[in-house]
Homo-oligomer: A and B are copies of this chain.
Amino acid sequence: MEREASRDRRRRRPERAPKAAVPYVTRRIPYYAFLDEEALTHIERQAFRLLQETGLEFREAPAALARWKNRGAEVRDTRVRIPEGLVRELLASAPAEFTQRARNPAHSVRIGGSAQVFAPVYGPPFVRDLKGGRRYGTLEDFHRLVKLTQRLDPLHHSGFVTCEPCDVPVSKRHLDMLLAHMTLTDKPHLGAITARSRAEDSIEMARLLHGAAVLESECVIMANVNTNSPLLVDKVVTDAAEVYCGAGQGLIVVPFILSGAMGPVTTAAAIAQALAEAMAVGAYTQLVRPGAPFILGNFLSSMNLRSGAPTFGMPEPLMSNLAIGQLARRLKLPLRCGGALTASKLPDAQAAYESADSMLSTVLGGAHFVLHAAGWLEGGLVTGYEKLVLDADRLGAYAVMLQGFPTDDDAVGRGAYADVEPGGHFLGSSHTLAHYTTAFYEAALSDSNSVEQWEELGSKDAAQRAFDRWQRLLAEYEPPPIDPAVRDSLEDYVARRKAELPDAWY
């Protein structure tokens, strides 16, 4: 409590005003030029070569094939070959930056440019916490995770499938998830994609929440889709593009490539393929509706050569995070990549090393929208409650880092030695008093006590402290206000659709 209150006070301090002014991070440090011009050009050329010479398969998507053909791409059966000029021309109409409006405008996020947005893990069927162990996620878990995301300031966005609510039929799950994101939090969120009708339900409910007119001019919901690497685009993707972008809403397109399986084993080639696939679908979003918000995504994973299992936090994907940022900026497109990724089963040292290195490279690389920024465990199979709050604490540190530090006369300490002699100390000096309240990030979960104090408090490791913290955050949770009429309309919609739909578990 005291910690929380203190952090709130800190937020309001004037010196870090740019952070307090917007509900996301504004990057003020330069980008890292990891690859040189020649290397970037090689990768880009290979991406365009793939689109032009090999082409992509668009399967079960006759409307997409027709659109490509009309626009001059070479379409043979389901294979689409797209000239570089056409891809670039189409992508040019995608906005370099846009706003995703939240139902609470104070939580609307900017996507692209110098804005950086963090969202929780997406997709795990399992959850794990220190007391309950590893188990299938339920709707109760889902609700708790949405509430925790609402309470964690370093998470700017609610994501979508923070865990799968496995106790709800697959055919109805998306309705419960949408209702939770629309009522239990007032941060922005994503929508469903797994069937065209579920995408349509997402847009319908967004219309109820925001008003139909708003959707015509503003992005209020986005969907995240994966290509079927290598070079295959299925109906889920084209349907999502048609439903979301058709309604002027956003699409994040993310090739998921386990290098050596769904893409070549070399880092540069995996990046090139991911770039090609994301550009192709991005171009398709602009065929559906020019100007539709589009986020260029990718998710590259390395492999354990002994078992073929995906590995995370390894140097090859870390380098990819840095390189992909450069490629996205050349295309002037918002980027999604990286996250706090790990193969670890537990919120232990492995999880933290891998997540930190993944995430710091993601942040330095300049990803604008970071899904999986908190809560990811076990290669994405598990949402960790402790991991969620531990990761969020580090996101707060990255947010500070992204703002850099001042180097004016006062900041370099020109006047700091007026009342401090060599061999003295700065503990009560005027310069220290003027700056100490804003000098340092205050982590909620990093223990800097003496070993004696730490033992007195129960010798708890970080995971145990994280358990205490999420329990407390949940106990203190209060739902954000919502217009009862809007809430009723959403609940009515969900009830009606649930009555219409059969229970199906696939």
Contact = CB atoms under 8 A, between A and B. Distances in A.
Q: Which of A261, A411, A412, A446 has the most CB of B within 10 A?
A: A412
A130 to B, nearest CB: 12
A343 B431 CA distance: 26
Q: Which of A57, A354, A426, A443 has the most CB of B within 10 A?
A: A426
A269 B352 contact: no
Interface in A302-316: 302-311, 313-316
Contact of A354 (B314, B357, B409, B446): B446
Given A33-B33, A309-B448, A461 B349 contact: yes
Given A318-B401, A407-B39, A378 B422 contact: no
Contacts of A46: 412-414
A343 B397 CA distance: 15
A166 interface: no
Interface string A406-428: 11111111101100101111110
A439 interface: yes
A304 B448 contact: yes
A42 B265 contact: no
A34 interface: yes
Interface string A378-408: 1101000000001000100110110011111
Given A422-B56, A449-B307, A314 B441 contact: yes
19 contacts: A30-B34, A42-B407, A43-B412, A260-B427, A266-B405, A267-B411, A273-B413, A304-B448, A309-B449, A311-B446, A315-B400, A316-B440, A319-B405, A343-B447, A348-B463, A349-B351, A349-B390, A352-B352, A381-B451
Given A260-B439, A265-B426, A267-B405, 14 more contacts: A57-B423, A265-B439, A266-B431, A268-B406, A316-B439, A318-B397, A345-B454, A348-B348, A349-B462, A349-B466, A350-B447, A351-B462, A353-B446, A356-B356
Interface of A: 6, 29-30, 32-36, 38-39, 42-43, 45-46, 49-50, 54-57, 59, 79, 134, 228, 230-232, 259-270, 272-273, 302-311, 313-316, 318-319, 343-357, 360-361, 364, 378-379, 381, 390, 394, 397-398, 400-401, 404-414, 416-417, 420, 422-427, 429, 431-432, 435-437, 439-443, 445-451, 454, 459, 461-463, 466
